[in-house]
Amino acid sequence: MRLRALLETDALGLRLLGGDEELDRSVRGVMTTDLKDPSRYLTGGELVLTGLAWHREAKDSEPFVRILSAAGVAGLAAGEAELGAIPDDLVEACRHHRLPLFAVHETVAFATITEHVVRQVSGERAGDLAAVVDRHRRLMTSGPAGGGPEVVLDLLGSDLDLHAWVLSPTGRQIAGAGAPLSGPTGAELAGLHLAAVRSGRRAPHRVTVDGVTYSLFPIRNNGRGAVPASRDVRESVLSDWLLAVEADAGDWPAARLDLLQGVTQLIAVERDRRDAARTVRRRLAQEVLELVQAGAPPTEIAARLRVAAPVLLPGVGTAPHWQVVVARVEWDAADAPGGAGSGIAGGPVAQALLEEILVDPAVTGPDSADRIAVAHTGDEAIALVPLPALSDARPEADGAEDGEAPAQDPALHADALLAAVRAPLSAGLADDGRLTLGVSASVHSPEGLRGALEEARHARRVAAARPGRVCAAGHHELASHVLLLPFVPDDVRRAFTARLLDPLRDYDRRHRAELIPTLEAFLDCDGSWTRCAARLHLHVNTLRYRVGRIEQLTGRDLSRLEDKLDFFLALRMS
């Protein structure tokens, strides 16, 4: 807005005391001060309001006005309430520095002027920014000339003082202006957003994290502004991005809300472009996995891997190792619209989620975005993950030199994959969805890929047998009794544990004898009388009495390996 517009606003009651020729100056903001030197708070373009408390004598005016002029302020408005009339020396100083000077009548509050200026400037900025957003949307639709979402987020910060970030469904920051969000804050915002979407609440979603209020706007693929009533929200909730704005949008005018909606549509174009960039890697993964599942000769698989390796792991001189990760997203059929199993495509959802999990630099390294290859078949997503050979990661693979730490194993681990994303994804899955994930061991040749795929699938089934909305299991768990226990039918588990442990539980309940804790400690100490007695703070004779009672009640002999194993499994399944 221009200074002239302020003078022409009757409600403000401003009188011009000098600077007629400068009334076309633009006003970018307003600042109230009674400091002698307010320079540290000035950025240029402000209308400065002052009550003249700094004015003690005539010589005070010249340095004050000189500071304002050097800072590039648009004009000065002085209140008449303090001194009655504006001092002549101030009028003269403003004339000398060509700074427009207004008198503010004592009946006009500075707050009234401030509110008017802020309202006008914000409206103009929003209109200008809306035009910029529209221009960038057209540019990004036809090519990358728009500069990506960071450009628009920077404009939100510089023109509307809005700090904003683009986040993935797991809370990973994709773009932002200014200081990045912390990992825990991003994850919590993502979880709150997913929970709000699942509840059907209308966006934007207003939430508070660590005392800071944010407004969360969904970013739909292909610029979709809302999920159609006929479309199940579960098809997209775990793959859509979100825009987090550090502000309370509850009292925003419609024009500003429309502006932010335009920003989300612009960012959706970038999302579609990034998805398109993954097409080649997805196709490579699909081709390799089809060969593996069809039992193709290792030479044919190796040829395809040689094509894939430079794309998925550029710059690596030697052949990489490979891991397979399998993921599955399942929804309760009873809650599916239209009846059991009605139409939620689990494969694409699992594919988008697995790509997001694997692209996290904290999990798979700083360049992981360029080496994600995920295919899907049916309700299952399968990732082919190349790993640099240990010698590629660091020449001193066998140990540290010159004080450096030894090279780290680049293999993925199941627990690490889900550590940072379990909370937000659980919110998106709510009470009717599950994500299960299995990770194979790394293999060094094409011959090992078929086994790695089956290993990852077995590990995923182990994860599926566990409680919880988000579960993972790794290859190392397939060489343990824990692989067998989840697949024992429930009625068999109950009968087996009841036959061995119910007599002990009944005895403990009647006599408070603690036979069950004694049995657990005895097995954990590998049957060592002295170590077990020391752990339980018992005399060895007391321990022998308790073990004898266990054997008497169950008809088993704890000196026999078979009976020890039966008790061990019963305790694990109970």
Instruction: Convert 336-399 into a string of H (helix), E (strand) and C (coil).
Output: CCCCCCCCCCHHHHHHHHHHHHHCCHHHHCCCHHHHCCEEEECCEEEEEEEECCHHHHCCCCCC
Do 217 and 182 share a domain, yes or no?
A: yes
| 179 within domain boundaries | yes
Residue 287: which H helix or E strand, with range?
Answer: helix 279-293
3-state secondary structure of 103: strand
On whether the CB atoms of residues 453 and 293 are closer than 8 A, the answer is: yes
Distances (CA, A) of 496 to 485, 493, 554: 12, 5, 12
Using the structure block, give the residue that is written with the tokens 């994930």.
Answer: 437
Q: What is the CA radius of gyration of the chain?
A: 34
What is the distance between the alpha carbons of residues 472 and 451, in angstroms, rounded to a whole number? 19
Domain end marker among 422, 457, 486: 486
Residue in 313, 327, 112 with CA at minimum distance from that of residue 238: 327
pLDDT of residue 397: 39
Do 255 and 321 share a domain, yes or no?
A: no
What is the distance between the alpha carbons of residues 300 and 188, in angstroms, rounded to a whole number? 46
What is the distance between the alpha carbons of residues 60 and 40, in angstroms, rounded to a whole number? 18
Residue in 187, 205, 238, 6 with CA at minimum distance from that of residue 103: 6
Residue in 489, 491, 519, 488 with CA at minimum distance from that of residue 505: 519
Residue in 362, 381, 383 with CA at minimum distance from that of residue 371: 383
Do 439 and 360 share a domain, yes or no?
A: yes
Do 293 and 365 share a domain, yes or no?
A: yes
pTM over 0.85: no
Edge to edge, the sheet with strand 75-79 lists: 14-18, 101-104, 75-79, 46-50, 29-32
Do 250 and 362 share a domain, yes or no?
A: no
Q: Give the relative orientation of helices 540-554 and 490-511 as an angle to the nearest 10 degrees.
A: 130
What is the distance between the alpha carbons of residues 27 and 182, in angstroms, rounded to a whole number? 36
Q: Which amino acid is at 570?
A: A
Using the structure block, give the residue that is written with the tokens 């005392």.
Answer: 211
| 506 within domain boundaries | yes
On whether the CB atoms of residues 473 and 454 are closer than 8 A, the answer is: no
Do 21 and 62 share a domain, yes or no?
A: yes
What is the distance between the alpha carbons of residues 187 and 170, in angstroms, rounded to a whole number? 6
Do 517 and 534 share a domain, yes or no?
A: yes
Print the domain residue range for 77.
3-108
Query: What are 215's two structure tokens?
Result: 């407004």
Q: What is the CATH number of the domain that holds 98?
A: 3.40.1390.20
Backbone angles phi and psi of 28, in degrees to 5: -105, -10
On whether the CB atoms of residues 350 and 379 are closer than 8 A, the answer is: yes
| 124 within domain boundaries | no
| 428 within domain boundaries | yes
pLDDT of residue 215: 94
| 399 within domain boundaries | no
Query: How many domains does the chain fold into?
Result: 4
Q: What is the CATH number of the domain that holds 294?
A: 3.30.70
Do 272 and 167 share a domain, yes or no?
A: yes
Q: What is the CATH number of the domain that holds 556?
A: 1.10.10.2840
Do 188 and 267 share a domain, yes or no?
A: yes
Query: What are 274's two structure tokens?
Result: 């990034």
The pLDDT averaged over each successive group of 10 residues in the chain (574 residues) is 85 88 86 88 87 90 94 91 85 94 89 79 57 52 53 76 89 86 90 88 90 91 44 72 91 80 79 77 85 84 77 59 88 51 68 84 56 81 77 43 48 77 84 87 82 86 84 75 60 82 93 92 89 92 94 91 85 78
Do 170 and 298 share a domain, yes or no?
A: no
Domain end marker among 233, 259, 276: 276
Do 340 and 467 share a domain, yes or no?
A: yes
Characterize 145-183 residue by residue with b for buried, 16 or more Cβ atoms within 10 angstroms of its Cβ, and e for exposed: ebebbebbbbbbbebbebbbbbbbbbbbbbbbbeeebee
Q: Is the bond preceding residue 204 a cis peptide, omega within 30 degrees?
A: yes
Query: What are 175's two structure tokens?
Result: 């773009």
Query: What are 347's two structure tokens?
Result: 């494969």
Distances (CA, A) of 498 to 501, 547, 555, 569: 5, 19, 14, 12
Backbone angles phi and psi of 531, in degrees to 5: -65, -40
Do 68 and 160 share a domain, yes or no?
A: no
| 417 within domain boundaries | yes
Domain end marker among 276, 294, 312: 276
What is the distance between the alpha carbons of residues 17 and 76, in angstroms, rounded to a whole number? 10
| 122 within domain boundaries | no
- Whether the CA torsion 151, 351, 478, 441 is positive or negative: it is negative
| 125 within domain boundaries | no
Q: What is the CATH number of the domain that holds 158?
A: 3.30.450.30
